[in-house]
Amino acid sequence: MPKIKIRNTKLFFDIYGSKLDIQKSTVKEKPTMIVLHGGHGIADHTLYVEFWSQFSNLAQVIFLDQRGCGRSDVADKSEWNLACWGQDIVDFCEALSIVKPIIAGVSMGGHVMCEYVTKNPEHPGALIFCNTEAKFDVNAVIKKFEELGGSEIGDIARQNYLFPSPENAKIYEERCIPFYAKNAYSKDEMKRCQQRTEIFEHYCRNEFNTFNYLDALHKICCPTLFMVGEDSPGHPPVFAKEMANNINQKWVTYHLFKNAGAPVYKDAPDEAYQAVKNFLIKNYGE
């Protein structure tokens, strides 16, 4: 499996599409898009390939299993945090000579993006935040789960986020994940992920309810797309709107997907494909 040593561990990555677009009389260099998965310890990059690999004609698309997750090596517990995951993006790009990458992050992948870009605002060429937030408000999430599934589903979500454990994570996966989207991830899709639930538990206990990058988002200085699900319980639209309002509006493209959950491309695949394609063509050409 393709792995690269980043500081004291090895990260798995998979590449879709070449860096060079070789035509009859010209060679064009395509931008590189790095896709960051969410659900650290629960999910890995395999959930994201079906949608994001579609753009390999416009960009070289790299899927990265983040430190400790999926097919990457097991990392030390002290490194299961946003500071390490964010720095890994910079170091990964340096190791592979990637300049001005497009960084696309879904859910917790967006949290890593916030750490990365607020510490290294000049590094990315573009950003795509999909169903994510710069500050997590568990009460807003529980409220949205209750709206969609009733008080019992809200209570299960509360237990998972506030009292993380393998038992609560399992119940959350079975009962709450189906409310993420009308066409939510299937049990088979989740089963193929290589899981280390202790990472998610550690993150919930230490950072999930305390991270806050809102006041630092003004540092963003590159084109930024927000993909927002109107009916996303895990990532209510108010979170994305807060983020967008803290960025210079000349950089912002905000796309609200009606009647869609998380990730938006599960419920609105054609609309989501067109939104990303238009964003890439606008900023990089065909």
Domain of 231, CATH number, reads 3.40.50.1820
pLDDT tens-digit series, residues 59-93? 999 999 999 999 999 989 999 999 999 999 999 99
Q: Which residue has the higher pLDDT, 282 or 183?
A: 282
What pLDDT score was predicted for residue 77? Answer: 92
Amino acid identity of residue 206, one-letter, is N
User: What is this structure's pTM?
Assistant: 0.93
* Cα–Cα distance for residue pair 1/149, rounded to 1 Å: 41
Domain count for the chain, please give it.
1
Q: Report whether 161 contacts 197 (CB < 8 A).
A: no
Closest CA to 235 of 197, 206, 261: 261
Mean pLDDT of 221-250: 96
* Cα–Cα distance for residue pair 105/86, rounded to 1 Å: 12
Mean pLDDT of 211-225: 98
* Domain range enclosing 52: 3-284
Query: Number of C-alpha atoms within 13 angstroms, CB side, residue 246?
Result: 20
Q: Report whether 13 contacts 72 (CB < 8 A).
A: no
Q: What is the mean pLDDT of the chain?
A: 94
How many Å is the maximal CA-CA distance in the chain? 63
pLDDT tens-digit series, residues 35-62? 999 999 989 999 999 999 999 999 999 9
* Cα–Cα distance for residue pair 75/77, rounded to 1 Å: 6
Residue 40 is classified by DSSP as B
What pLDDT score was predicted for residue 14? Answer: 97
- The radius of gyration of the chain's CA atoms, rounded to the nearest angstrom, is 18
Greatest mean pLDDT range, 104-118, 168-182, 196-210: 104-118
What pLDDT score was predicted for residue 220? Answer: 98
* Cα–Cα distance for residue pair 71/194, rounded to 1 Å: 7
What pLDDT score was predicted for residue 177? Answer: 82
What pLDDT score was predicted for residue 170? Answer: 86
In the chain, the percentage of residues whose pLDDT exceeds 70 is: 100
pLDDT at 1 over 80: no
Tokens (6 digits) for 224: 């930024």
